[in-house]
């Protein structure tokens, strides 16, 4: 019954035939090895040749889209100069995800109930951008995780709103919504609620000096592990951006340290590099 409700509510008027498109056929590579990479976050995902689809082909479970509100439309780009009316959040992310979940009978990855995180980074004023986002998300009720009067229902895709922090106030006031908020380290504390703020993200360089060369300073290792332990005790996930991302031993040393500390999402623009690292790590662990 639950699976039928999910399929019935994916929104956007989509049918399974959408999976026959050129972009959707590219998704097939993601299922050759069906094990999704739960630590893999595609930073600036929209900058890849095939937004979303390249990340899915590499089995990522978190993708990030920068969004601008322009004339009522949510357009995906990092900078205003790159805005294109055809590159909407619906066209690049919500509609393809709905088609994929419909084709997979209720999941993003066949055989896995992991909810894919769609991190929406608001680049324009947060209140108006969030209200526009909220209206679009309501067209996909069966696709998305939701909050209703104190309870969270997990869907195939979970939208987390980052960027302009003014979006948090109208979100917190809603009794029913299809999005959650991306917190900062300063949000850690007794008042934080995972039903509103399930994710804590922050700039690595703002809190740590170590970038993978030589041993990690003991005080920084202690700080990192204290942060992740506190977040986990409150039911929150952790991500850092601006970590080293140039291929090489320093990047892998930082990734090793992040995973050892319990960080949930490794941030990268190098999809193949992170996928290879996580696969090799899994093979070493058996």
d(CA 60, CA 66): 17
pLDDT in tens, 239-254: 999 999 999 999 999 9
Per-position DSSP letters for 45-67, written without gaps between them: GGGSSSTTHHHHHTTEEEEEEEE
- Sign of CA pseudo-dihedral 107, 146, 90, 121: negative
- Reply yes or no on whether the pLDDT at 15 is more than 70: no
Strands 266-268 and 237-241: unpaired
Residue with tokens 């939208």: 159
Q: What's the confidence (pLDDT) of residue 11?
A: 58
Mean predicted lDDT score pLDDT of the chain: 90
Q: What's the confidence (pLDDT) of residue 121?
A: 98
For residues 118-146, give the mean pLDDT. Answer: 97
Give residues with Cβ within 8 angstroms of 17, minimum separation 6. Answer: none
Strands 237-241 and 199-203: parallel
- Per-domain residue ranges for the chain? 1-180, 184-278
Helix axes 218-233, 249-261, angle to 10 degrees: 40
Distances (CA, A) of 103 to 25, 99, 146, 278: 12, 6, 21, 27
pLDDT in tens, 73-87: 999 999 999 999 999
């Amino acid at each position: 019954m639950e699976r039928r409700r999910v399929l019935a509510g994916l929104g956007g008027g989509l049918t399974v035939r959408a999976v026959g498109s050129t972009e959707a056929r590219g998704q097939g590579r993601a299922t050759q090895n069906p094990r999704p990479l739960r630590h893999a976050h595609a930073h600036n995902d929209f900058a890849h040749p095939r937004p979303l689809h390249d990340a899915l082909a590499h089995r990522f479970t978190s993708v990030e889209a920068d969004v601008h509100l322009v004339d009522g439309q949510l357009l995906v780009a990092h900078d205003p100069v790159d805005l294109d009316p055809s590159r909407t959040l619906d066209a690049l992310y919500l509609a393809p995800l709905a088609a994929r979940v419909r084709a997979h009978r209720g999941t993003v990855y066949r055989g896995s109930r992991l909810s894919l995180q769609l991190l929406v980074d608001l680049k324009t004023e947060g209140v108006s951008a969030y209200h526009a986002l909220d209206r679009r998300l309501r067209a996909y009720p069966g696709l998305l995780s939701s909050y209703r009067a104190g309870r969270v229902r997990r869907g195939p895709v979970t939208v987390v709103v980052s960027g302009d922090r003014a979006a948090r106030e109208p979100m917190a006031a809603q009794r029913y919504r299809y999005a959650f908020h991306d917190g900062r380290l300063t949000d850690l504390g007794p008042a934080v609620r995972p039903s509103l703020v399930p994710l804590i993200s922050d700039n690595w360089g703002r809190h740590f000096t170590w970038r993978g060369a030589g041993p990690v300073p003991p005080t920084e290792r202690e700080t990192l592990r204290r942060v992740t332990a506190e977040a986990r005790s409150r039911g929150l996930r952790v991500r850092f951006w601006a970590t080293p991302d140039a291929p090489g031993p320093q990047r892998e040393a930082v990734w090793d340290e992040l995973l050892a500390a319990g960080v949930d999402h490794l941030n990268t623009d190098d999809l193949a590099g992170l996928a290879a690292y996580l696969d090799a790590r899994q093979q070493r662990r058996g």
